[in-house]
Structure formats: structure tokens, C-alpha cells
Structure 1
Amino acid sequence: MSDYSVDPAQFIDMDGGPSSGPTIPMVVSLTFPGMDAGAHALQEGFTRIAFEAVRSAGGRPRLVDSAALELEEGAKVFEDANGIVFLGGGDVDGSCYGYTGAPPHNEYGVDLRADEYCIGLIREAVERDLPILAICRGSQLLNVAFGGTLIPDIKDFGLHRGGPGEPLFKDEEVLIEPDSEIARLLGETRLTVRNGHHQAVDRVAPALRATARAHDGVVEGTQHRTASWVVGVQWHPEEPVASTEHRATLFGELVRRAAD
């Protein structure tokens, strides 16, 4: 693992919320191989914003560190869970989706143990029919968990992230399927979102459907075909300058459904 690791204490201090609110485990790796100071700052900031979004919506966020030395057993994760969030982080190990080519040029942060742990939690959460919001790496793992594949390294990534010497995250317009849950919630079929990725969903898992695409055709959103509410977004609603309205709507719907 990296010498850098986000201090979990700050999120444990943020656990909880309204005493009557639904409990939402927040699954995220607080470290990963190759984490540097920049990645540390991003992971800490994004995780904090996601916690705050759940609390603001009336939920009770609870940290589940998928890179912890001692991983929390699934039974413990789900014993009081009313919904669950899978946050972003490093790349997904290619072995999880059958990739056997050369290591992707821009690969970073691969942690097979964390991938396998998250995939197990995703499958169990769907079996329990819990509301799920899966973001960036989380949305990729959602696809892999049900038999989909990933693009290991988008060849022309200019639409999706900054280039050398540029900020990683950038505005990107994505096209939303009119009959999707995202379109229903946000009331739009074109969204400007904050993106910074070089991997993405490739073959969509049979259990999922694509709900959003970039202008180059790359899948940017999915939802489960039969579960009550399982939504994956490749972009980052929890990025600091992302739309606060979109963030509140997405996390708010998760918490509302968890409360029901």
C-alpha cells in the first residue's frame, strides 16, 4: 500500500445524523497503492463531501473502509444498513473482468483485495434490494459485479479528464436516456458533470442498462433492470465544484428510498 492514507477518524466523527434517519454505509478505500499527496487530498475531500451530502439529506452515514487491514464482515456492514454508497478511488484490477492484456498505460491504485470485497458487498446489497448509489470506481465495480467489462484505458480520454499539466477534473456534457432514473430525478437529458476518469464501462452487464453516455459513446451511467433502486454514475457529484443541486438530488433520493 501507499505511505499515504486518509485518516478514518474524521469520518467516524461524522458518522450518524438524525437519530431517526436511515443508516447508509459509505464504502471507500482510504488508501490504495501509489496514493500520493494529490490523490490523498482528493480522496479525503470527496469522501467528506459525500458524507455531508448524506447527512444533509437526513441519513446516517457510516464509514466502511475497503482497504482496511481488517475488513468489516458483510454481516456487520448490512446489519443496520438501509441503503449503501460505493465511492470512487483507484482503478479496477483487470482480472476481475477477464482483461489479460498489457497493464493499462495510465493504470493506478489497483487493489484486488478491495475490488473483490466491494464486488461481494454490491452483490449482497442487490440481493437485499437495498438502494445503491455507485460513483465512478463504484459504478465500474457495479458493472463488473454482474458480468460486465471495462475499458481498461480510454485511448482518447480528452473528453473525460484533463491532460498532462492540466487539472484532472473537468466539465463534460453527458447525454441521458429520457426514460432513465437519472432523467426522472434531474429532469434533464443533457447534463454538465465533473469528470476525471480513464476507465469506464465497456460491455454493460446483462442485469444493468446504460442510462448515460458521453459524446464519444462511452457509458457514463447505468441502472439495475429489476432492483428497486440501483444507480451508477461515472461522474463525481461529490466533486467540490460539481452542481450542488444535482448532488443534493441524487443523495437525497438515495436517503429517501432508504428511509422507505
Structure 2
Amino acid sequence: MSDLAVDPAVFEQGEEDATGPLIPVVVSLTFPGMGEVSHQLMSDFTRIAFEAVREAGGRPRLVNSSAPTFQPADEVFARAEGILFLGGGDVDGALYGVEELPANSYGVDRRADDYCIDLLRESVARDLPTLAICRGSQLLNVAFGGTLIPDIEEFGPHRGGPGSPMFLDEEVVLESGSEIARILGREKVTVRSGHHQAVAEVGSELRVTARAHDGVVEGTEHRTASWVIGIQWHPEEPEADVSDRRRVFGALVERARTVAASEH
């Protein structure tokens, strides 16, 4: 594991609605090979995600999937009314039948992968509102029998090339009638993208809800669970559209409120 790790205290600060729905946020605060750039990205993205959940009225609670001792699933879900999975390192190829990872693979942590997959399956079994972003969306697919493209190989439109910023604008086409299209209010959306792995074969319990213009899968939803959404892009990226960020995280919190209301 890397010597660098994001300080969790950064995310535990902030005003929040004491009556808002409780939303665990699953993210690895470190991973193998984490460098200064990755460290800063993880810190910024996670902070913005926490702020967005709080702004929408939710109460985010950190679940560190790189912790030496994992928080037991029963504790994670004890009072949870929704759950959020954030981005991070690559998914271990052995989990979807690839033994030899590409040379540009980074941050692989099988222990964290297994923990996150267990939490994803449990959240679906509990029919808990679930939002899975980037690595989270890839793990969602693997959790339900899907596979991944280990490396898209070519730069753009999914990520910046050498010497360029990693994240760039990409237009994504949303499936008519999908929940993500309803949330964003349109079927074409410009997002912040920066990935080199992607969904390949879609898990049997999921359906595709978004694609890039080259056909790469950019979003999925669970077929039978009430509200389980995976998106490959980053609404929590600093330069992402603020209105769309509010729509995405607001939708998770709104859905979580319905769970909270049903329990009282």
C-alpha cells in the first residue's frame, strides 16, 4: 500500500441537516502506487462529493475501503438510507477473468475490491438507493457478473493524453426512459471523463443507460432494484457542471429521503 493517504478529517467537517438521510460514502483513501497527483485528485474529488451530499441535505459518512480493518457491513448499513461508491484505482482483472493487466494499470487493491463488491451486493439485496461513480460503476458491473475492458488503449475522448490534463469534456448519450436521463433532464450530456477502463460485457442484472459516441458504456442501472445507478464519469470533478452535479447527488439524497420516510 502507498505511504500516501488522504486525511479523513477533511471530509468529516461541514454543516449538515441533522434530520437528513444517512449516506455512507465508500472510497479508498489510499491505494498501491498512489502518487502526489492521485493523492490530490482523491482528496479533491472526495471532498466535493461530501460537500454535494451535504448541500443536497444528506449526511455523508466515510467508509474507507483501504482501512487496515474494514467496517463490518452490518455497521455500514445499520442506519443507512442510501449509499455512494466513489472512484479510485483499477479493478483487479482476476475478478473478471483477466490475469495479465495492461502496463498502465494502477492502484489495484484486491482486498478493497472484494470489500466493495460485497457492499454493492448487500446494498442491492437491501434495495438501498445506490450511486456508483467511475471505479464504483465498474465494481457494480463486476459484482453482477459483468466484465471490464482493462484498457481502452487510445486517449480521448475518455481521458487526456501524455502531457495533457487527465480529465476532459466528453459528450455522453443517455438512454430514453433511463433514471439518469430523468435526473439530468436530457438525453445528451457533456461530462467530465478521465478513465482507461470501462464496462465490457454488462452484468445480467444490469442494463446500459449511457454510451459514449464510440460505443463505450458510460452508465448502467440495475434491472429490478428500485434505484441503483452506475456512471463512468465524474460529477464530483472540480470542473464538472455544477448544476448537473447538484442534480445527480440531489437525486441520491432525494431517493434516500423516501427510505428514511418509510422507516418512520
TM-score relative to the length of structure 2: 0.96
The aligned amino acid for 2:62 is L
Shift in Å, 1:158: 1.8
Which of these residues, 104, 112, 115, is aligned with residue 114 of structure 1? 112
Which of these residues, 174, 182, 186, is aligned with residue 184 of structure 1? 182
Shift in Å, 1:143: 0.3
What SS does structure 2 have at the residue aligned with 1:257? helix
Which deviations, in whole Å up to 9, do the C-alpha atoms of 1:185-241 show, x marking residues without a partner?
111111110000000000000100001111111000000111000011000000001
Which deviations, in whole Å up to 9, do the C-alpha atoms of 1:148-181 show, x marking residues without a partner?
0000011223210000000000000111111111
Aligned to 1:228: 226
Q: State the distance in 1 between where 2:202 and 2:70 align.
A: 29
- Are the aligned partners of 1:134 and 1:232 in contact in 2 as well (CA < 8 Å)? yes
Q: State the distance in 1 between where 2:171 and 2:197 align.
A: 17
How do residues 32-43 of structure 1 correspond to structure 2 at under 5 angstroms?
32-43=31-42
The aligned amino acid for 2:252 is L
- Unaligned stretches of 5+ in structure 2? 259-264
- Unaligned stretches of 5+ in structure 1? none
The aligned amino acid for 1:60 is R
How do residues 134-173 of structure 1 correspond to structure 2 at under 5 angstroms?
134-173=132-171
- Are the aligned partners of 1:209 and 1:222 in contact in 2 as well (CA < 8 Å)? yes
What SS does structure 2 have at the residue aligned with 1:258? helix
What SS does structure 1 have at the residue aligned with 2:249? helix
What SS does structure 1 have at the residue aligned with 2:189? strand
Q: Which runs of 4+ in 1 moved over 2 A?
A: none
TM-score relative to the length of structure 1: 0.97
- Are the aligned partners of 1:193 and 1:242 in contact in 2 as well (CA < 8 Å)? yes
Aligned to 1:72: 71
Aligned to 1:11: 11
Q: State the distance in 2 between where 1:245 and 1:168 align.
A: 22
Aligned to 1:63: 62
Aligned to 1:209: 207
Q: State the distance in 2 between where 1:206 and 1:247 align.
A: 29
The aligned amino acid for 2:12 is I
Aligned to 1:84: 83
What SS does structure 1 have at the residue aligned with 2:11? helix
Aligned to 2:238: 240
What SS does structure 2 have at the residue aligned with 1:24? strand
Q: State the distance in 2 between where 1:75 and 1:5 align.
A: 26
The alignment-based identity, stated in percent, is 66
The aligned amino acid for 1:20 is T
Aligned to 2:48: 49
Structure 1, 102-111 or 26-35: larger mean CA deviation: 102-111
Shift in Å, 1:40: 0.3
The aligned amino acid for 1:128 is R
Which of these residues, 206, 216, 219, is aligned with residue 217 of structure 2? 219
Aligned to 2:253: 255
Shift in Å, 1:182: 1.1
